[in-house]
Amino acid sequence: MRFGRTARAAAIGFALTLGAMSCSAGTDTTAGAPPSASAGGLEKTKLKVATLPAIDSAAIYVAIDQGFFEKEGLDVTPEVVQAAPEAIPMLVKGEIDAMFGNYVSMFAAHDKQALKLRILAEGSRAAPDSLSIMALPGSSIRTPKDLEGKTINVNVLHNFQELALTQVLKANNVDPATIKYVQVTFQNIMPSWKDGQIDAAYLGEPMVTAATATMGARKILDPASGPAAEFPISGYVGTQEWYDKNPKTAAAFQRAIHNAAKLMENNREVVAKVLPNFTQIDAATAATVTFPYFSSNDNPVRLQRVADWMWEAKWLTKQIDVKGLMSPTTSG
């Protein structure tokens, strides 16, 4: 197993973005298949998967490190990109077989018929305190109600950050229509916050831990609480065309991701071990940050919540039946 190119930006798993895509099948693979691959009749054994320098994508690295892909007869190479849209031309050209991205963007692309989506495996769900709306020590913002009329950053407008927070604001008797969202890149969040360009910061790990420790920032609201508890953030996807050509390979990939997630549930050290390989999170930080939940099974009911909220927000032109986009679960 081998790792792709090293990440160049800090890993933050709360705002992955995926733009419009076109359907594409991966390139064919011939020589070098492990014996187990031949026995299992895999259509492909060498896979390239676009990932991001984010904690959320850790399962693929744990699956490599712990030999889960090798056990399935797969040789998987992660290709780290700084933002998911970078992977789109790679997918179109058949340079990658699958990619990791957030469900809101993927469902939007599917709705626009930019691709016929196939969800290969769930990736991550928001855990308590893995996301946070935070205020600086001198801010007048003390309660969720104080957020009304304020400016908050998001990585991408009309994406999962805004979708989840809208539901949590309503549950806390806050009018979400009064919130002004501005798009701010990861590296500009802290400067924008300090300069007063945003009133409250929408942060994910490791920024939550860093802002608390170094700036004395205060948590105002958890966007992963109440109606958005365990909100599905991201997963591994391919195109329906690729899946139709490689169903056994897709099932093997899913089993390896699920097995990695099962191991990660009660063994955070296996996650901390791989983070320096694809993020700028060092071992010391990895030992203290809050991880998202990693999905060891695929659940259409919880994923349907994302599509339903998008329909409610009028971000879709038609309702989506998520179950019809999901691959059959083959792991135990």
Whether the predicted pLDDT of 328 surpasses 90: no
| Residue 181, beta-bridge partner list | 152
Q: Which residues contact 146 (CB under 8 A, 6 or more apart)?
A: 140, 220
DSSP label of 112: T
Q: How far is CA 151 from CA 40, 122, 188, in A?
A: 54, 32, 15
| Residue 76, beta-bridge partner list | 47
C-alpha 111/C-alpha 315 separation (Å) is 9
The vertex-101 CA angle with 162 and 110, nearest 5°, equals 80
Whole-structure pTM value: 0.82
Contact 19, 65 (CB under 8 A): no
Q: What is the pLDDT of residue 287?
A: 84
Answer with the residue of higher pLDDT: 323 or 40.
Answer: 323
Q: How far is CA 238 from CA 7, 33, 72, in A?
A: 22, 21, 19
Residue 220 parent element (H or E): strand 218-221
Closest CA to 256 of 48, 65, 3: 65
Whether the predicted pLDDT of 11 surpasses 50: no
For all residues of the chain together, what is the average pLDDT? 85
C-alpha 316/C-alpha 306 separation (Å) is 11
Taking the alpha carbons at both ends of the chain, their separation in whole angstroms is 24
Whether the predicted pLDDT of 111 surpasses 60: yes
Provide the phi-psi class of 98: left if phi over 0, else alpha when psi is between -120 and 50, else beta.
Answer: beta
pLDDT confidence bin for 290, thresholds 50/70/90: confident
Q: What is the pLDDT of residue 9?
A: 33
Phi, psi of 4 (to 5 degrees): -80, -165
The tokens for 101 are 């991205």
Contact 107, 306 (CB under 8 A): yes
User: Please, what's the largest Cα pairwise distance for the chain?
Assistant: 64
Q: What domains appear along the chain, each with residue ranges and CATH number?
A: 35-125+231-325 (3.40.190.10), 131-228 (3.40.190.10)
Question: What percent of the chain is predicted at pLDDT more than 90?
Answer: 65
Answer with the residue of higher pLDDT: 328 or 44.
Answer: 44
